[in-house]
Structure 1
Amino acid sequence: MHQENSSMKMSKQFPLNALRVFESAARQMSFTKAGEELGLTQTAVSYQIKLLEDTLKEQLFLRRPRQVTLTEAGERLAPRLTEAFAIMESAVASLSNVAESTLIVHSTATFAAQWLARHLGTFQFENPGIAVRLETSQEMVDFSRTQADIAIRSGKGEWPGLRTHFLMHNHFTPMLSPALAATIGGVKTPEDILKLRIIDPGDPWWPVWFAAAGLPDVDLTGRPVSRFGAQAFEASAAIAGQGVAILHPEFYTADIALGRLIQPFDILGHDGSDYWIAYPEARRNSRKIRAFRDFLLKTMPGTEG
C-alpha cells in the first residue's frame, strides 16, 4: 500500500503529459504549434501547461495577446526537459533498430510507377542499411492509423501536424497515341480533341485544361464515362489508342520518346495541387526519414533541400 501511495505521489508531482506539452510549447514558443505537433487543441495545451504550473507552483509562461514568452523558471526548465525527452527518445530508438532499418513509403500508384520506382534502386545503393517497403493507394494516408513513415501526397502542402517539402508541380495536359491522332488527320487545335473519345470525361482536370486553352465553355457531359481509378491506367488506355487521356507529362517522357504517346500542346493545366513529401512533425529527426527526404529533394530537378 505504501508503494502504491508513493507511485501516486510521484505521478502527481511529475505529470508526464504536461511536461511533454510544456517542452513542445517552449521549444516552438507557441501553444498553437505545440498542439499541431502533439495532435492537441490549443485549449488542451493551455490546460496541460496550467496543470504543470499548479503542480510546480511556478508560472512558466507569460501570456500576452498572440504571444507567449518564458518566465525565468520556464527558461530554466525548458532546456533540461528537451534534453530529457531526447534521452528517452534515444533509449527507445536503441530498441527499435529493426524498425529504423525499414522505411515504409506511401505513394499514389501513378507517382510510384512513373517516377519513384525508377529511382528507388539508387536510394538503396546509397543507403544499404535501409530497406524500402512501398505502399500505394489513391487515398491520403493517415499516419495515425498506418505504419507508413513518409508519404508522397498531392495537395497544397498544408496538413496540420505534418512537415512538408515541395517536390514537383502537378501539371496536366492531353496525351494520346499517334495512331489515334492520325485517324482525324492529326490534333492541331484544342477543338480537335473533342472529335475523339475522351478517357474519363468526368475528370475535373479537363475543364481546367480547356479553360487554359481558351475554351472555358466546353461541355463533356453525355460522353461515355470511363473511370480507371489511377492516372497510370488511363495512360495505358491512351497508349492502346482507346482515347485521349489528361496526364502529367513529366511522368511519360519515355513513352513520348518511344513514340507511344504524343503531347499535342504545350498548354498545361494546374489546379493548385502539387506533389509534396510529408511526414509527422514529431518524427522529423528520424534518420531514415531524413535520408529519404534528402534523396528525393536532391533527385527531383528544381527542388530545394
Structure 2
Amino acid sequence: MRRLPPLSAIRVFEAAARHEHFTTAADELGMTQAAVSYQIRSLEERVAVKLFERGKGRVKLTDAGRRLVAPLSEAFDRIDGAFAALRTDDESLLTIATTFTFANTWLTWRLGGFQIEHPGLAVRLSTSNQLTNLFASEADVAIRAGAAPWPGLDCTELMTVDFTVMCTPAFLARTEAELGRTLELGDIPALPLISPQDDWWCHWFAATGIAAPANPRSAGLRLDSQADEGHAAMGGQGLALLTPAFWQGDIADRRLVRPFEQTATAGYRYWLVTAPGREKVPKIKRFREWLLAAVERSERLP
C-alpha cells in the first residue's frame, strides 16, 4: 500500500518548485497564491521537512526540496505522456455502432471513401440491433432507426426509411408469363411474399390503396432483417419490401427490380447519434461531415 501525501499537494509543490515562485505556480494551476502557500505548508507538515526557504518577495528550494523535485517532475512527465498516448490512441480509432441492415446494405459500400479521405483514422464497425450506450463509450457514434430523436442525445437526421416492393427480373418475368400480362398492384397479395407478417406490408398496402389479405400467409420466409430479406429476394424467393436507398447498386446491376414506383413509410428515420458535447470531437466531426455528404450524394442517384 502506497503511503503518499495528497496528490493535490504534490502537484502544487512540483509546479512551485519548477518556477521557484508561488504566484507563477498559482497562475499555471488556476489557483490563488494563498492556496498554493497552504498546500505547500500542508505538505511540509506531512513530511516533516522544510521544502522552501521563504524570503522577501520570493522563495527558494531547500536541499531537501531540490532532491524531491527531480523525481516528481519526471513522474508527472510520465503521467502526462501516458494520457497523451491515450488521447492519441482515442483520436486514431473511430468506433461506429449501427444496425446489421444499415451496415450491410449502405454503410460498408461507402465507408472505404471515408478512410481514403482520412487514412490516419482507423474505423471499427460494430453491428447490432441492440442500443449502444454512448455515455459508457461503447462507441463514438451510432446510426440508428427511430421515429424521433432520443432525449438527452445529439441526433442528426440522415434519411427517411421508406420501402417498396422488389424482386428479381427473373421472378417478375416468370410471374407475368404465368399471368399472361403485366403485373398489377392488385396481384401482389396473392404472390409469394417475404416476411408476410411484417407490419410494413400493411403500410404498403394502405399507401397503394390495395386491400390487404384478410388472412396473411403464414407460410413463406420470415426473416429478421431487411438485409436478409433483400438477399432472399435476390435468390428468387418472392417479393420483399425494401428501402430503395439501400439497394441502389443491386437495382443498377439488375439484381433487383422495382415493379412499381409507389413507396410507403412506417414513420421511421435513420439518425446519426452522439453523446452530448461530443459532436465537436475532431474524428466525430469529420465523420459527420462525410456521412451527410454521402447521404446527399446517394439521394441524387436515380
Structure 1-normalised TM-score? Answer: 0.65
Residue of structure 2 equivalent to 1:211: 206
CA distance in 2: counterparts of 1:260 and 1:125, whole angstroms: 28
Shift of 1:135: 1.0
Residue of structure 1 equivalent to 2:241: 246
Residue of structure 1 equivalent to 2:158: 167
**Which SS does the other structure have where 1:194 is aligned?**
helix
Residue of structure 1 equivalent to 2:91: 100
Q: Assess if the C-alpha contact under 8 Å between 1:178 and 1:260 holds in 2.
A: yes
Map Cα deviations across residues 174-205 of structure 1 (whole Å, 9 max, x no partner): 11112222233166322211221111011111
| 1:158 paired to 2:153 | no
Instruction: For 1:215, give the aligned amino acid.
Output: I
Residue of structure 1 equivalent to 2:170: 179
Q: Assess if the C-alpha contact under 8 Å between 2:207 and 2:263 holds in 1.
A: yes
Residue of structure 1 equivalent to 2:118: 127
CA distance in 2: counterparts of 1:92 and 1:161, whole angstroms: 28
Q: Assess if the C-alpha contact under 8 Å between 1:202 and 1:225 holds in 2.
A: no
Q: Assess if the C-alpha contact under 8 Å between 1:108 and 1:137 holds in 2.
A: yes
Count how many residue pairs are aligned between Structure 1 and Structure 2.
Answer: 218
CA distance in 1: counterparts of 2:164 and 2:207, whole angstroms: 10
Residue of structure 2 equivalent to 1:266: 261
CA distance in 2: counterparts of 1:225 and 1:145, whole angstroms: 41
CA distance in 1: counterparts of 2:284 and 2:224, whole angstroms: 29
Change (3 A) 1:302 1:178: closer
Q: Assess if the C-alpha contact under 8 Å between 2:204 and 2:264 holds in 1.
A: yes
Shift of 1:284: 2.2
Map Cα deviations across residues 11-67 of structure 1 (whole Å, 9 max, x no partner): xxxxxxxxxxxxxxxxxxxxxxxxxxxxxxxxxxxxxxxxxxxxxxxxxxxxxxxxx
Shift of 1:256: 1.8
CA distance in 2: counterparts of 1:114 and 1:176, whole angstroms: 16
Shift of 1:158: 1.5
Shift of 1:129: 1.8
Aligned residue among 108, 121, 136 for 2:127? 136
Q: CA RMSD in A?
A: 2.6
Instruction: For 1:280, give the aligned amino acid.
Output: A
Change (3 A) 1:187 1:143: farther
Q: Assess if the C-alpha contact under 8 Å between 1:151 and 1:279 holds in 2.
A: yes
Q: Assess if the C-alpha contact under 8 Å between 1:166 and 1:277 holds in 2.
A: yes
Question: What stretches of structure 2 of length at least 5 have no aligned partner?
Answer: 10-81
Which shifted more, 252-261 or 289-298?
A: 252-261
Shift of 1:253: 1.9
Instruction: For 1:273, give the aligned amino acid.
Output: Y
Q: Assess if the C-alpha contact under 8 Å between 1:202 and 1:220 holds in 2.
A: no
CA distance in 1: counterparts of 2:87 and 2:130, whole angstroms: 28
Shift of 1:279: 0.8
Structure 2-normalised TM-score? Answer: 0.66
Change (3 A) 1:181 1:150: same
Please identify the structure whose Cα radius of gyration is greater: 2
Q: Assess if the C-alpha contact under 8 Å between 1:157 and 1:165 holds in 2.
A: no
Map Cα deviations across residues 111-148 of structure 1 (whole Å, 9 max, x no partner): 11222112211111111221000111222323245521
| Identity rate, percent | 40
Shift of 1:218: 3.4
Residue of structure 1 equivalent to 2:105: 114
CA distance in 1: counterparts of 2:272 and 2:234, whole angstroms: 29
**Which SS does the other structure have where 1:283 is aligned?**
coil
Q: Assess if the C-alpha contact under 8 Å between 1:213 and 1:267 holds in 2.
A: yes
CA distance in 2: counterparts of 1:163 and 1:144, whole angstroms: 12
| 1:221 paired to 2:212 | no
Residue of structure 1 equivalent to 2:140: 149
Map Cα deviations across residues 194-241 of structure 1 (whole Å, 9 max, x no partner): 221111011111100100000254335343153322111111110111
